[in-house]
Homo-oligomer: A and B are copies of this chain.
Amino acid sequence: MLETIEIKSSKRIEFIDITDKINSIIAASKIKEGICFLNVPHTTAGITINENADSSVVYDILTKTNQLIPENNNYTHFEGNSDSHIKSSLFGQSLSIIIENNRALLGTWQGVFFCEFDGPRNRKVYIKIL
Contacts and interface: CB of A to CB of B under 8 A. Distances in A.
Interface in A60-99: 60-61, 63-65, 68-69, 73, 75-79, 82-83, 85-86, 88-98
Interface string A1-25: 0100000000000000000000000
A27 interface: no
A120 interface: no
A57 to B, nearest CB: 5
Contact of A76 (B42, B60, B76): B60
Interface residues of A, number: 55
B106 A85 contact: no
Task: Find the residue from A39, A79, A97, A108 having the highest chain B CB count within 10 A.
Answer: A39
A31 interface: no
A56 interface: yes
